[in-house]
């Protein structure tokens, strides 16, 4: 009888221990699949509400703001986002700062002019639950000129790593067009980010001006020199590449405008680089 009682008590203890372990394992698993969405901003009052709503599935939303002087911060706080303000120096350090402060290991980076549709949302949530040893994922972007999707000009191949683990990935330190450095395997998602970068001429021009300034600064730090080729042939080739070689003409007038904009961006980048050298003397 004593043996039966002993065995019965032992079994009860084992069952309780196993139950506690199972509960603990579920809690750990639950924590491991939480996600933080990060949105970098500067004067994005036109975009910020839709951007935050499109990542409403995230367990934490951080808006890393470069001291906007419009209603961006007010609107973000109203929607429950965690707002962190930091003086802008470059895109890499701005994003890395927010990543460091994120509560969760899985990170999703969203530009304010991008949107996550329902299909991509479901795919993101599935990917972090079953990553299959991937530490990050490439996501293609669908570029929109106002509300018209652009299908050519090279935009159809635009892809970025936006979903990743913070313990395995970080931005590479480039001032602009920053890339993710990663330790592990990178997968691909099927659904695309909706990228509404060209909402109006002034908005796109302001973004292009910021990019060209940072590009010029980066080239200056590398001691790259400017010659006639950079301000004559290279801009023309950029237009020809987007509009002709990459079939931008098939997008009609929007394809022409975008090719022209980016050719002008090349010209502006090297004029700004020339001015940096001139001001140094």
Residues 9 and 114 occupy one common structural domain: no
User: pTM higher than 0.75 for the full model?
Assistant: yes
Residues 136 and 7 occupy one common structural domain: no
Pairing of strands 35-41, 60-65: parallel
pLDDT of residue 21: 46
Split into its structural domains, the chain has a count of 3
**Closest CA relative to residue 124, chosen from 171, 55, 181:** 55
pLDDT of residue 9: 59
Residues 254 and 210 occupy one common structural domain: yes
Residues 56 and 178 occupy one common structural domain: yes
pLDDT of residue 88: 95
The upper half-sphere exposure of residue 195, i.e. CA atoms within 13 Å in the direction of its Cβ, equals 20
The boundaries of the domain holding residue 24 are 1-32
Residues 12 and 145 occupy one common structural domain: no
What the block records as the tokens of 233 is 């042939």
Please list the ranges in the chain whose pLDDT falls under 70: 1-32, 281
Residues 163 and 207 occupy one common structural domain: no
Residues 43 and 139 occupy one common structural domain: yes
Residues 170 and 48 occupy one common structural domain: yes
Domain-terminating residue out of 141, 163, 198: 198
Residues 10 and 131 occupy one common structural domain: no
Q: What is the CA radius of gyration of the chain?
A: 24
Domain-terminating residue out of 198, 224, 257: 198
What the block records as the tokens of 176 is 């602009």
Residues 117 and 135 occupy one common structural domain: yes
Residues 83 and 171 occupy one common structural domain: yes
CB burial of residue 278 (10 Å; 0-12, 13-18, 19+) = exposed
Residues 48 and 174 occupy one common structural domain: yes
What is the CATH number for 123? 3.90.550.10
pLDDT of residue 161: 98
Domain-terminating residue out of 198, 217, 252: 198
């Amino acid at each position: 009888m004593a043996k039966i009682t002993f065995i019965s008590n032992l079994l009860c203890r084992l069952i309780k221990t196993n139950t506690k372990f199972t509960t603990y394992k579920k809690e750990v698993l639950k924590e491991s699949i939480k996600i933080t969405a990060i949105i970098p901003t500067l004067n994005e009052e036109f975009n910020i509400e839709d951007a935050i709503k499109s990542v409403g599935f995230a367990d934490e939303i951080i808006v890393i703001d470069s001291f906007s002087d419009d209603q961006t911060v007010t609107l973000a706080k109203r929607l429950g986002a965690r707002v962190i303000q930091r003086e802008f120096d470059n895109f890499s350090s701005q994003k890395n700062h927010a990543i460091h402060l994120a509560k969760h290991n899985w990170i999703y980076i969203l530009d304010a002019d991008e949107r996550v549709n329902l299909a991509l949302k479901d795919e993101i949530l599935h990917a972090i639950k079953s990553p299959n040893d991937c530490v990050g994922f490439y996501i293609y972007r669908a570029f929109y000129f106002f509300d018209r999707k652009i299908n050519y000009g090279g935009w159809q191949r635009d892809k970025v790593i936006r979903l990743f683990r913070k313990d395995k990935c970080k931005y590479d330190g480039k001032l602009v067009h920053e890339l993710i450095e990663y330790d592990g395997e990178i997968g691909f998602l099927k659904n695309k980010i909706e990228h509404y970068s060209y909402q109006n001429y002034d908005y796109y021009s302001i973004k292009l001006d910021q990019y060209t300034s940072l590009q010029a600064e980066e080239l200056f730090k590398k001691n790259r020199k400017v010659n006639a080729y950079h301000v004559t042939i290279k801009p023309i080739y950029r237009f020809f590449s987007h509009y002709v070689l990459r079939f931008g003409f098939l997008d009609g007038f929007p394809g022409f405008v975008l090719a022209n904009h980016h050719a002008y961006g090349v010209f502006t980048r090297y004029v700004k680089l020339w001015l940096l050298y001139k001001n140094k003397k």
